[in-house]
Structure 1
Amino acid sequence: MFAPDVSQMHVIDHGKSQPLEKESRDVLSESARIARGNIIDLAKPNVSNHDAVIFPGRFGAAKNLLCCIFLVLAAKVLPGVDVTVGHEEEEGGKWPYAGTTQAVTALGAKHTVKEVTHVDQKNKVVTTAAFMCETKLHLIFDGIGAMVRDVLKLSGK
């Protein structure tokens, strides 16, 4: 796994959902702490050693990696890529980030409505709604697991 060797933009008190003003953390060190493993500086990957890449999303990635959710980055760099953020309507708050579909399609991507994962075979891109949906955590976990399995299938693993 890789992470940038930079200071986090914000350190968040997740109990209060607020930034801690006087605390600073390093993204590389925090990534190693959370993953409980050896994390390599994002500036040093050797792409020939890897079959696939999974880009994380959410606000930490938006602040520290400059991309909120991978599919927006995919839409920007892969014209016509077919992705999912889940649903295109909020449906009473279940899909609070449904408006993201407009940004994705404005960038030239196709959006497919899916509950869990979507595979664009042509571009070899797998996306999942993950936290775009207000649902139970275990369902988000299952969706991310399905995405990883689909990435491994595409890479021949």
Structure 2
Amino acid sequence: MTKRVAVILAGCGVYDGAEIYETTLTLLRLDQLGIEYHCFAPDIEQHHVVNHLNQEVVEGETRNVLQESARLARGDISPLAELASENFDAVIVPGGFGVAKSLSDFASAGANMQVLEALKEALTGFRQEAKPIGLMCIAAVLVPRLFEDGIAVTVGNDPAVSGAISSMGGLHRSAGVEEIVVDFEHRVVTTPAYMLATRISEAATGIFKLVDRINEMME
């Protein structure tokens, strides 16, 4: 039977949505391994819109997370509310500031953050069914709020973010850009990606390793 992976997106663009390279590299590696995938995103308004040319917030403009994510998925995407864990063998969440602004409020609340309820409901099913969960870049910060305490994750070596993870009950492990951290007990895999990457090739190495490990864990 063909393996199936759900990929959860948070918009389109590093500063206010899903990180485009991280998403594309994830989908590329899944396809190279012959794994079917389907993308999901919440049908909500973005926290705000950022001009990616100058990184400034665009006042008075709104965009929808699902519609923006559809750009990355070439239109083949469904609302997050329709994601049922029993239909997939694993789930992966790429990074990007949309994770910290729309899927959660980590960008403004830090360790006091709350996670979007629809995301929590979707990922809780994968956790309860012991299906592999992959998160990259800033998405690793979600783990302590989504699941139980003491799950090992990495965002690389950022002291502020790793400190927030620890204060929320998580267990942060420092890692290089091309490395992954695997919590075998809880079946969670993370990699720093663009928390550290300076080139797309650097991000690719860690992301490919993450997808490869998720693949192995689905056996």
Q: In structure 1, what residue type is equivalent to 2:192? A: A
Q: Say if 1:85 and 1:98, in contact at 8 Å, map to a contact too.
A: no
Structure 1 gaps, min length 5: 88-96
Greater CA drift, 105-114 or 14-23: 105-114
Alignment map for 1:116-135 (pairs within 5 Å): 116-135=179-198
Q: In structure 2, what residue type is equivalent to 1:122? A: E
Q: Say if 1:117 and 1:143, in contact at 8 Å, map to a contact too.
A: yes
Alignment partners' CA distance in 2, 1:30 and 1:61: 14
Alignment partners' CA distance in 1, 2:202 and 2:105: 24
Alignment map for 1:75-86 (pairs within 5 Å): 75-76=144-145, 77-86=147-156
More helix by share: 2
Quote the RMSD (CA, aligned, Å). 1.8
Q: Which has the higher contact order (CA 8 A, sep 6+)?
A: 2
Alignment partners' CA distance in 1, 2:59 and 2:208: 34
Q: Which runs of 4+ in 1 moved over 3 A?
A: none
The sequence identity of aligned pairs, in percent, is: 39
Following TM superposition, by how much is the alpha carbon of 1:2 offset from its aligned partner in structure 2, in angstroms?
A: 0.5
Alignment partners' CA distance in 1, 2:168 and 2:64: 32
Match of 2:165 in 1: 104
Greater CA drift, 63-72 or 73-82: 63-72
Alignment partners' CA distance in 1, 2:212 and 2:49: 31
Following TM superposition, by how much is the alpha carbon of 1:67 offset from its aligned partner in structure 2, in angstroms?
A: 5.8
Q: Say if 2:99 and 2:139, in contact at 8 Å, map to a contact too.
A: no
- Secondary structure in structure 2 of the residue aligned to 1:53: strand
Match of 2:96 in 1: 58
Alignment map for 1:21-40 (pairs within 5 Å): 21-40=59-78
Which one has a bigger Cα radius of gyration? 1
Q: Say if 1:67 and 1:73, in contact at 8 Å, map to a contact too.
A: no
Alignment partners' CA distance in 1, 2:105 and 2:218: 23
- Secondary structure in structure 2 of the residue aligned to 1:36: coil
More strand by share: 2
Following TM superposition, by how much is the alpha carbon of 1:134 offset from its aligned partner in structure 2, in angstroms?
A: 5.0
Count of residue pairs brought into register by the alignment? 147
Alignment partners' CA distance in 2, 1:117 and 1:109: 16
